[in-house]
Structure 1
């Protein structure tokens, strides 16, 4: 397809190089990487996504500020009362029992935001909080694979490209989180899924993340919650003492499992008493709720924020409204959303991985009305559509330049931005398109190179 040249200059140079039939960049094959080779169904863009570091670092400051706001909402809105927080978010009250009280010390922050670049700036689509956020198995390996190629490294060196090593930054955060348990040595880590969770989620993800953490020097076990034993003296997993439990399961996976419930409560208490480190603490599951976005965006709900905080949110977060079952004014919100169908996307409160999303511009008026009715009954968030800028890339098999929409997954760790990469679909296609590509993210110094 014919396409206009990209506005981003380093991307344009990459495309020009890839357009040459004899370019050595055409021979880069991510499947040669020992970890990426096991991602059987993954497909890759012919080039990385590249951004000026000054732009990304400015977004980082706003992102971390928004994360801080997000994690303080239970205190600001509900006086730190877990039961009130769960009730306001429409969560199963048994989750409040599992969480107990919020921790006195704020837990280490870790998660991933999904963002689009709209041609002017990066915009946050949603926050994903906790250890079970996806994509970690490919982000750093894919960047390293490109950098290991002599031709790409020569190009990258000439233009100052570099990437943020996601797994390495995560490893540093894990060491810091476990320091009070095993000072002076690396922690033994147990990666723990819910009962039956490994069969559902681990293929091509958790086992690969385990290999990456082992490459960072950790002794790392993987299994399910029924293999975890927690006592007053500490935690054992598969019969071995462990220092840090990397929690891959969420509260939904244990509320109906009495044995897993009891183990999780003991794990929570052992973490708070310093017997074991927990990544991530149970309360992070409350923060990971789409309804909280409305408390940041909706003018009727954000009286808890200062003007500077509102300005920060408005820079990074699109217009967002919550459809709360039974809430006062719900009919007005639904009517407003019905009129704005072509500008909105509807996301169920409990959805993840793109499940249950309705794109207003891709459905009929009746389909949109049906989706809004279901959202009002079960809980959902309506959000202003962000139209991503086109990312152009040369298809090395056909030689044609194609246009892609990139959803950036950007991780944060306690120290700041923790790396990221892009999931891409052909421009205009829905995010759950079966023809998706992955791409690493590289930065390059611009006028503000001192920020590096």
Structure 2
């Protein structure tokens, strides 16, 4: 990545800027907005306004294209689309129990800035999207006087992703109330993750409260479903922002069915759409690349696919012979995997081991894709954590471009110490804000 397109401040940690960042970050930990285990990128990262606009607009075009796949390829049959993406019948039923959506209200691309431009290895679509949860804390750090002074001097700008998200949720929630009183929203956490991601949930609640909503984080058991609506502590709830998904619903139908049925009757809103997960998996990228469907896309759409999406194939017996010969350039990924779990690199094995691994994957019940490996750009940066303070290292970078209501909504970056192959939130990575500049 050249200095013409990228900027970072990598001075010694003793500078006033980094001391101010450390002070502000520690305060966010004490307030519960940043987890004790969280790692932040202290160096201010900026890219050119042109590159930022390109990654945002390309993200939106490709996500909209993915949302058109059920109609284009499966005549509107969501079950057939879900099966093609590797979901079970039970999960498809859980995700399609409410009316389908036609767009992604909230999404993020995983974007690598390479010598050949932006490359998207996946798209995250739904309600709980990594990186966004830190935006409130990062925004507060950004406003520390010494941090703000440097950003202002460089004439950096940054989109307020947290506020854009909150405005979108408020707009959606207002559709489900008929009174003019305070808007009551409940963020309903997954039973499996509420304690682990308490700081995520509270950050979202704070963003919504800033726009005037009454917001509490709770569990499904805290809600009382009545014939006329959903209540909590005798207050009528207008909208549930769900952090639970199809897996929760399938495991505990007795807990979630009353809420789902109330939403079907129009007594409460639920966001983000339950079917988001259908579109947020790597099999959709394989559908974009499948030669069977090439005639379903326009020339401009094919140009976007070839320019921005690494070649991606569903792992099947049909492609096995071809992909064995491409071992060194391929990565195998579970279509619905998260945080780098289950990812294997062809270059890590001998020819016979690679063939054996792929056959084992084919024999399993977990669908996989094979994707052209994309290498992360690297940079020397200053990282921060509550246990280690400030430290310098060389990092591999993957950017995240947010889209809210089909509009570009800002960038974040995930930085993993150089040498790590999987750049994920779970891989000891650091998260940071990304600024834009006309001067780069």
TM-score normalised by the shorter chain: which range applies?
Answer: 0.7 to 0.9
In the alignment, what sits opposite 1:288? 280
In the alignment, what sits opposite 2:111? 115
The alpha-carbon distance between structure 1 residues 371 and 267, as it changes in their structure 2 partners (threshold 3 A), is: farther
In the alignment, what sits opposite 1:241? 236
Say which SS state the counterpart of residue 55 (structure 1) adopts. Answer: helix
The alpha-carbon distance between structure 1 residues 268 and 290, as it changes in their structure 2 partners (threshold 3 A), is: farther
The CA distance in 1 between the partners of 2:375 and 2:287, in whole Å, is: 23
The CA distance in 2 between the partners of 1:97 and 1:63, in whole Å, is: 28
Of 366-375 and 80-89, more deviation after overlay is shown by 366-375
Is contact 2:33–2:203 with CA below 8 Å preserved after alignment?
no
Q: Aligned to 2:358, which of 340, 363, 372?
A: 372
Is contact 1:195–1:226 with CA below 8 Å preserved after alignment?
no
The alpha-carbon distance between structure 1 residues 259 and 393, as it changes in their structure 2 partners (threshold 3 A), is: same
Say which SS state the counterpart of residue 138 (structure 1) adopts. Answer: helix
Q: Aligned to 1:438, which of 424, 431, 438?
A: 431
Over residues 270-309 of structure 1, what are the superposed CA-to-partner deviations in whole Å (9 max), with x where a residue is unaligned? 4xx3x32221112212112221111112333343211111
Q: Aligned to 1:259, which of 245, 249, 254?
A: 254
The CA distance in 2 between the partners of 1:35 and 1:364, in whole Å, is: 50
Taking the TM superposition and a 5 Å limit, the aligned residue runs for 1:259-408 are 259-270=254-265, 273=266, 275-323=267-315, 330-377=316-363, 378-394=366-382, 402-408=393-399
Q: Aligned to 2:72, which of 73, 76, 82?
A: 76
Is contact 2:110–2:401 with CA below 8 Å preserved after alignment?
yes
* CA-CA distance at 1:207 after TM superposition: 3.2
Is contact 2:108–2:403 with CA below 8 Å preserved after alignment?
yes
Q: Name segments (4+ residues, structure 1) moved above 6 Å.
A: 395-401
* CA-CA distance at 1:165 after TM superposition: 1.3
Say which SS state the counterpart of residue 39 (structure 1) adopts. Answer: coil
Is contact 1:347–1:356 with CA below 8 Å preserved after alignment?
yes
Say which SS state the counterpart of residue 181 (structure 1) adopts. Answer: coil
In the alignment, what sits opposite 2:212? 217
In the alignment, what sits opposite 1:421? 412
Gaps of 5+ in 2: none
The alpha-carbon distance between structure 1 residues 154 and 337, as it changes in their structure 2 partners (threshold 3 A), is: same
The CA distance in 1 between the partners of 2:403 and 2:27, in whole Å, is: 28
In the alignment, what sits opposite 2:50? 54
* CA-CA distance at 1:86 after TM superposition: 2.4
The alpha-carbon distance between structure 1 residues 102 and 265, as it changes in their structure 2 partners (threshold 3 A), is: closer
Is contact 1:192–1:249 with CA below 8 Å preserved after alignment?
yes
Taking the TM superposition and a 5 Å limit, the aligned residue runs for 1:10-159 are 11=7, 14-15=9-10, 18-19=11-12, 23-27=15-19, 28-29=21-22, 30-33=25-28, 35=31, 38-100=34-96, 103=99, 106=102, 109-145=105-141, 147-159=142-154
* CA-CA distance at 1:166 after TM superposition: 1.6
Q: Aligned to 2:176, which of 173, 181, 185?
A: 181
In the alignment, what sits opposite 1:450? none
The CA distance in 1 between the partners of 2:95 and 2:393, in whole Å, is: 48
* CA-CA distance at 1:41 after TM superposition: 0.9
The CA distance in 1 between the partners of 2:148 and 2:115, in whole Å, is: 27
* CA-CA distance at 1:315 after TM superposition: 2.2
Of 314-323 and 293-302, more deviation after overlay is shown by 293-302
Computed over aligned residues only, the root mean square deviation of the Cα atoms, in angstroms, reads: 2.9
The alpha-carbon distance between structure 1 residues 81 and 229, as it changes in their structure 2 partners (threshold 3 A), is: farther
The alpha-carbon distance between structure 1 residues 84 and 101, as it changes in their structure 2 partners (threshold 3 A), is: farther
The CA distance in 1 between the partners of 2:100 and 2:430, in whole Å, is: 42
Is contact 1:395–1:401 with CA below 8 Å preserved after alignment?
yes
Say which SS state the counterpart of residue 249 (structure 1) adopts. Answer: coil
Normalization by structure 2: what TM-score? 0.87
Is contact 1:189–1:220 with CA below 8 Å preserved after alignment?
yes
How many residue pairs match? The answer is: 428
The CA distance in 2 between the partners of 1:370 and 1:300, in whole Å, is: 28
The CA distance in 1 between the partners of 2:233 and 2:320, in whole Å, is: 50
Say which SS state the counterpart of residue 137 (structure 1) adopts. Answer: helix
The CA distance in 1 between the partners of 2:48 and 2:140, in whole Å, is: 19
Over residues 16-62 of structure 1, what are the superposed CA-to-partner deviations in whole Å (9 max), with x where a residue is unaligned? xx24x763123121222255664101122330221111111122111
Is contact 1:78–1:85 with CA below 8 Å preserved after alignment?
yes
Is contact 1:197–1:224 with CA below 8 Å preserved after alignment?
no
The alpha-carbon distance between structure 1 residues 267 and 70, as it changes in their structure 2 partners (threshold 3 A), is: farther
Of 29-38 and 66-75, more deviation after overlay is shown by 29-38
Of 148-157 and 119-128, more deviation after overlay is shown by 148-157
Of 418-427 and 168-177, more deviation after overlay is shown by 418-427
The CA distance in 2 between the partners of 1:389 and 1:247, in whole Å, is: 35
The CA distance in 1 between the partners of 2:378 and 2:193, in whole Å, is: 37
The alpha-carbon distance between structure 1 residues 9 and 98, as it changes in their structure 2 partners (threshold 3 A), is: closer
